[in-house]
Structures are given as C-alpha cells and as structure tokens.
Amino acid sequence: MDCVEEFGSAEEIRDWFTECVVVSEYAEAKPLFLLAVFALAKLMNANEDHSQLSAIARRGSGSACRSLYGGFVKWIMGKDEKGTDSLAVQLADEKHWDELVIVIAVVSSQQKETSSTTGMRDTVETSLLLQHRAKEVVPKRILKMEEAIKNHDFASFAQLACTDSNQFHAVCLDTCPPIFYMNDTSHRIISLVEKWNRAAGTPQVAYTFDAGPNAVLIARNRETAALLVQKLLFCFPPKSDADLNSFVLGDKSILKDAGVDSLEAIESLPAPPEIKDPSQRHRGDVSYFICTRPGRGPVVLSDESQFLLNPETGLPK
Amino acid sequence: MDCVEEFGSAEEIRDWFTECVVVSEYAEAKPLFLLAVFALAKLMNANEDHSQLSAIARRGSGSACRSLYGGFVKWIMGKDEKGTDSLAVQLADEKHWDELVIVIAVVSSQQKETSSTTGMRDTVETSLLLQHRAKEVVPKRILKMEEAIKNHDFASFAQLACTDSNQFHAVCLDTCPPIFYMNDTSHRIISLVEKWNRAAGTPQVAYTFDAGPNAVLIARNRETAALLVQKLLFCFPPKSDADLNSFVLGDKSILKDAGVDSLEAIESLPAPPEIKDPSQRHRGDVSYFICTRPGRGPVVLSDESQFLLNPETGLPK
C-alpha cells in the first residue's frame, strides 16, 4: 500500500488512479480497473454511490463500468462528449432470473489483433451503418430487452441478444479496415445454436460475442444447459492430452447432468441432430468451457479463508 | 438438339428456357444460364439486344445477367416488383482499363451452406441495416464507382470495391439467422491486402468477395500482381502433394514475373513484411489460384479448333 501512503488526500488518490485508468489501453487489464476502483473506494471510505463509481470506472473501460454490479446491468451512453455521464445502472440483481445458466466457450486465449477501444474508434469514424444502428436500432432494442428481463421472457431475451450480437459484429465488418472478432469456431457455435433453436420451435439458448471470438451462451434453464454442454462437447472435444478437470471449469456439476464424467464419455456422446456432418468434430478448437450463472458484483470479503491473496504479502495464496 | 426441335417457335423455346432458369435454384449452375440464354438467342437468330437478353438471364440469376457482357458491367435494379426490368448494362469494355490483373483465390470448392438466392431473401426480410445500405449508401457508391472506372482511378476503385464487399458481408451477418460467407482464410487474405495497401500509402490491390469464401483480388497492374502472387503463395502454400501446374491456373506467365517456377521456389519466397508471424503459413487453405484479366463476354466461335465441346457428340473434347 506504498502508493496510497504517498498521496495526501482521497482526491489525489482518485485523480492518480483515474489517470492510470485512462492512459492504459491494455485490454486484458480492464476488469482490474473495476476491482481497483472498488477497492480504492472502500479503502478511502468513499461516499460515492455505485453509479458514480461506475462513471469513474467507465473512464477505464466500458466492461469495467458494467462490472460494478451483479445481475442485469444497463450501460447508459450519456450526453457529455468527454463521457463523464456515461455510467452503468443495475436493472435487476442476480436473483431476479435465477434459472439462467451461462456456458462460456473460450475459443482462443491469444491476444486480440484489434483492441475493443481502438476498434470502436475506427468503427465510429468509418462505418456508414453504425449511425443507423445507434440511432434507429439500439434504443428500441434496449427497451425491449429491459421488458424481456423484467418478464423472464426467454424467447424475446434470446432473439434480442443474438440479433444484437450479430449486428455489433456486422458494424465491425463495415469498419475500414474491417474488424473480424469472430472466427470459424465462433461461426460454428452460432450455427449449432441457431439450428437447435429453430428445430425446438422456441429459443433454448442465447448467444452473444463481445470483442473477441469467445461465445457467451445463455441457457434458459439447467436442463437446457446440460443438453447444450453435451452438444458443445460433441462438436468441440478436447485435444487427446487434455484432462476434463481443466477443460470444463466453474460449476462442474452440469457435467454430471450431461452424463459426462470422463474424457471417454465425451467420445461416446450422441451427435446433435442439428449437425450436418457428424464425422467432423472440431477437436481442440475450443480451449476450455466455463459453466457459471449471472453473478453478483464485487464484495468486500470478511472471511479471510475466502481471500485469493495472502493479506500479509499481497501475493496469490 | 432434340429439345429445340420439340418446340414450334422461338417464343416457346424462350418460355421453356426461362422456366428452366427460374425453377432451378442450384447456385453452381448459374453461369450456365447465361451461356444457355446466349446460345439459344444465337441459335434462334433472336433480335433482342444484349440488355433485353440480360433481363431474361436475370430471371435465372444476377451473376448470369451480368455475365452477358465483358469488361465493366452495371446491374440495374429496376422498379418492377417481378424484376422484369432488372438488367445489366456495360459501362466499359475489357480494353478500357487493360492494366488490371485479377487473381482469384479459391478457398474452398465445398458446396455453400447458404445459397446466394435464399440468403439474399432472408437478408431482405430480416436485416435492419439493409434498407439503410440500399437507400443511403449503394446509390452514391455506384456513381463514384462509375467515375473511378471512367478515370482509371485505382485508389478510388479499390476503396469502393473493398468497403462495399465488407458492407455486403456485414448485412449478411445482420441477417436472421446470420449468414457467414467468408471464413478465416478469407479474413486472412483481407488482412494481408489491407496491411499492404496501408504500408504502401496508396491501394495496390482491391478485394471483393461474393456469396462465398473465395477472394477476387484486383491488382493495379502486372507488377503489383506479381508481388501479390508472391505474398499469397508465401501465406497459402499448396499441400506437399500438389503440383504447381494445378495450383496456379489461368495466365501462368505471372508466376514467371513472381520468380516462381517450382514448388521449391514457393518454399523459399520471402515473408511479406505485412505478416505478423512469418512462421505461420496456412498450407492448403487455398485450393488453387486463378490468374486472369477483365474478360470479354460470350462470343460465337467460328474456329473449330477453339471449341471445348466436340460439335458432333456435344461432349467435352
């Protein structure tokens, strides 16, 4: 905590930290901004409410400002050119829709060719479709999405999430030079989900991709999540030298529901009927899966046994 | 020629043929429509001019109506709902800009998952960006493109061709369900060209992709085409069992300019400075290349030695 002691006041700490946040463009560090904003605010006993803290975090990145809350969060654009009134508000907490299960397919852990910050700047400057999207499409979609979340309306939720993800990537492609965040594996995951949803007659799973190739898949309930995991493991089995424990992370109890307790079980999974050519399995194309749920925001832990860092040294336990 | 003899009049032949053209949705057969329209018109000594014939071919497919001419062709949408006034006109013949060299990278000869006809119908029905593109973007772009072609202005030509190709694929992605015609190899080719064009300060090569993953690359002149072929062969070398003669088709004299006379010469090509990781070569990702030029339209051959079919049997020679 040397750096804190060097400053004279909470304002100075805040100014220094905001500076750090703004100058850094290292995309992978962005979630840390939020944690640092939150930790410093707690450390300083700051009186700012969550939305004000989120506006500070926003100066670091959009994902940082959103992550100050758990559950369902809306990021308000704001009107100020410098973005000082761009902040996040919570629509509903994580308990509001607790049936949902999230499966993240980590397609690649390689560094991205285009960071989300420089990518979005290029899109704003060059895409002729972005203005139309921002003005005519997104505002109406956000209202519909708020309504879908409020009513636990999964069909609308999925339709809005998927079409908006695709449209975001469409304006990335309409950028000069074009930005490709999704790759062939992302496309295959979308195709699998789209075909399944159509065959089922009503959406079972929603997908969304941010500035990278990794799929965030939201299943309507735990039963659907188990089916999803089966289909995903069939299409994207691990490399032969992998171990199941590091191929599926997070809430591994879904594996049990999916009837998968070993690597051998993955090999004998049934082919999803949606798949055109079941002999073609894309082994190793997904690095690993994470099974999780809509989470809570950052909290101050009092139980020392839950700390991930050693409180004496500050190093990982 | 049995089928011709069965009909009583030219009108009947035309009606029958138009019917065949309209009912078939087999994308790969589309270029044949044009040849059949042209051949039947000649056979019947039809008086229709090229634009009227193109409107007939249009009923089969867009690419068929365009292909009735050589050089630079504009496809006019028309106003009639049934598309009867949708036809193609020639802007300039193939001699107008004879510096241009075309290199086609055939990424995959697999059948497409989405045909261009059903794909475009889905896009018209579901994309919220298409209307904006069709109304606000394309009409202005077409005028600029006509001007660029007229003035041999390669910088504008390339910029317009590339951004329009990307925007076409953006609205495909904005379709429900989304359409992915380009794949990772298409993206890598675009990235190579974009980086080269930026490094050179002015466009050297234009790219355009239609409803599939294959790249059509247009080099500003023969010298640039030789450089392009070098870069492409470095990044996408053939599989080890290939032979150069079936890996580069068409005008093979460009290979000589590129200093490539054997498979071994491909292995010792210098890495393009645009490439991030020169150790990563995507062997076998391009099935073959075709080197060509803006061509002429279909013609009636009088020299029998040029026939590809045996005039007695109708079978390939």
Spell out the SS3 assignment of A26-54.
CHHHHHHHHHHHHHHHHHCCCCCCHHHHH
Q: Which pLDDT score is estimated for B12?
A: 58
Domains B2-93 and B101-292 agree in fold: no
- B50-76 burial by CB neighbour count: b if 16+ within 10 A, else e? bbebbbbbbbbbbbbbbbbbbbbbbbb
Q: Hey, are the CB atoms on B174 and A167 less than 8 Å from each other?
A: yes
Query: What pLDDT does residue A11 have?
Result: 58
CB neighbour list of residue A26: distance below 8 Å, 6 or more residues apart? none
Q: Could you tell me the sign of the dihedral formed by the alpha carbons of A129, B147, B181, B22, in that order?
A: positive
pLDDT at A61 over 70: no
Q: Is A70 exposed, middle or buried (0-12, 13-18, 19+ CB in 10 A)?
A: middle
pLDDT in tens, A242-283: 999 999 999 999 999 999 999 999 999 999 998 888 888 999
**Mutate: best of A122, A129, A186, partner B, most B CBs <10 A:** A129
**Does residue B119 or residue A214 have the better pLDDT?**
A214
A83: confidence class by pLDDT, cuts 50, 70, 90: confident
Strands A288-292 and A248-250, sheet pairing = parallel
Separation CA A54–CA A88 (nearest Å)? 6
Minimum distance, in Å, between the CA of residue B212 and any CA atom of chain A: 14
| pLDDT attached to residue B27 | 38
For A98-149, what is each residue's pLDDT tens digit?
Answer: 999 999 999 975 656 677 778 889 999 999 999 999 999 999 999 999 999 9
pLDDT score of A15? 57
Average pLDDT value for residue range A153-175: 98
Query: In the CATH scheme, what is the homologous superfamily, with its name and number, of domain A101-292?
Result: GHMP kinase, C-terminal domain (3.30.70.890)
| Stretch 57-116 of chain A: residues touching chain B, C-beta under 8 Å | 113
Spatial neighbors of A275 by CB under 8 A, at least 6 apart, are A192, A234, A235
Fold that domain B2-93 belongs to in CATH: Ribosomal Protein S5; domain 2 (3.30.230)
To the nearest whole Å, the CA of A177 is away from the closest chain B CA by 7
Q: What part of B 273-302 touches A (C-beta under 8 Å)?
A: 276
φ and ψ at residue B234, rounded to 5 degrees: -65, -50
| DSSP strand pairing (B205-208 vs B215-219) | antiparallel
The answer to whether residues B105 and B232 touch, using CB atoms and an 8 Å cutoff, is yes
Say whether pLDDT at A317 is over 50.
Answer: yes
Query: Which residues in chain B touch residue A183, judged by CB atoms under 8 angstroms apart?
Result: 184, 187
Q: What is the CATH number of domain A2-91?
A: 3.30.230.10
Of all helices (H) and strands (E), which one includes residue B105?
strand B101-106
Distance (Å, rounded) from C-alpha B152 to C-alpha B162?
16
Half-sphere exposure of A281 (CA within 13 A, CB side): 20
The beta-carbon neighbor of B187 closest among A129, A180, A191 is: A180
Task: State the average pLDDT over residues A70-75.
Answer: 88
Phi, psi of A228 (to 5 degrees): -60, -45
A140 CB within 8 Å of a chain B CB:
no
pLDDT tens string, chain B, 317 residues long: the values are 333 344 455 555 555 555 544 444 333 455 566 666 677 677 667 667 777 777 777 766 667 777 778 889 898 888 888 777 888 888 999 899 999 999 999 997 565 667 777 888 999 999 999 999 999 999 999 999 999 999 999 999 999 999 999 999 999 999 999 999 999 999 999 999 999 999 999 999 999 998 999 999 999 999 999 999 999 999 999 998 899 999 999 999 999 999 999 999 999 999 999 888 888 899 999 999 999 998 787 777 788 887 777 878 877 77
A226/B317: higher pLDDT: A226
As a whole number, the mean pLDDT across chain A is 85
A86 Cβ neighbours under 8 A, 6+ residues apart: A55, A58, A65, A75, A76, A77, A78, A80
Burial label, A46 (beta-carbon count in 10 A; 0-12, 13-18, 19+): middle
* Residue entry with tokens 């290349």: B289
Q: And the tokens for A86?
A: 């761009």
Separation CA B38–CA A312 (nearest Å): 85
Helix (H) or strand (E) holding A2: helix A2-5
pLDDT at B308: 75
For chain A, the structural domain boundaries read 2-91, 101-292
Which among A170, A184, A194 is the nearest to B177, CB-wise?
A: A194
Which residues lie below 8 Å from residue A199, measured CB to CB, with a gap of 6+? Answer: A273, A274
What does the pLDDT look like over A7-41, one tens digit per residue? 455 555 555 555 544 444 333 455 566 666 677 67
